[in-house]
Amino acid sequence: MNVKHSVLTSLLLVFSTLILAQKVSNRPHVYDENVPINTAEEYKWWNLLHYSIDITPDYDNRLVSGTNVIEFCSLETGSVLRIDLQEPMVITKVTWRNSSIEFKKQNDAYIIIFPKKIVKGKTEAITITFKGHPPVALNPPFDSGWDMGDR
């Protein structure tokens, strides 16, 4: 009875993994995005893959500056990309393939214009340099009694 029970349990385990197994696709998943219909064209053609932010605080001048490397994949061919960034932060430079590229401010966003079209399926990266004077928190989550202005 124990052998029969063990064999039956083993068969059940083997077949249950086959029945419940998910289909594995060879296609990269970055193309499976569903973009809402009312999304602006500057957002639709690309998919964020990774970003790396480097921030440098200047306590004496209450200034934050840094860079953000944005790696993305093009879902469609495109050449105009939109990045949201609210004041008081401002973009000072955008670099692509070791060269500065054109950008312009539009409300709380920046329009980045590539010098040539990025074709569908390409992975690219841009480096955005930024700075700004963020406001002092009126009610910070932690008050150590240490005034940053005294540094």
Q: How confident is the model at residue 4 (pLDDT cuts 50, 70, 90)?
A: low
Mean pLDDT computed over every residue of the chain: 82
Torsion of CA 54, 46, 83, 53, to 10 degrees: -10
- Look at residue 12 in the predicted model and tell me its pLDDT: 54
- Look at residue 137 in the predicted model and tell me its pLDDT: 84
pLDDT tens digit string along 32-89?
556 667 677 777 899 999 999 999 999 999 999 999 999 999 999 999 999 999 899 9
Torsion of CA 42, 46, 50, 54, to 10 degrees: -30
pLDDT (average), residues 96-120: 95
**Rg of the Cα trace of the chain?**
25
Residue 42 sits at φ, ψ, to 5 deg, of -70, -15
> What domains sit in the chain, N to C, each tagged with a CATH number?
29-135 (2.60.40.1730)
- Look at residue 28 in the predicted model and tell me its pLDDT: 53
- Look at residue 146 in the predicted model and tell me its pLDDT: 59
Structure tokens at 138: 């009126």
Pairwise pLDDT comparison (147 vs 84), residue with the higher score: 84
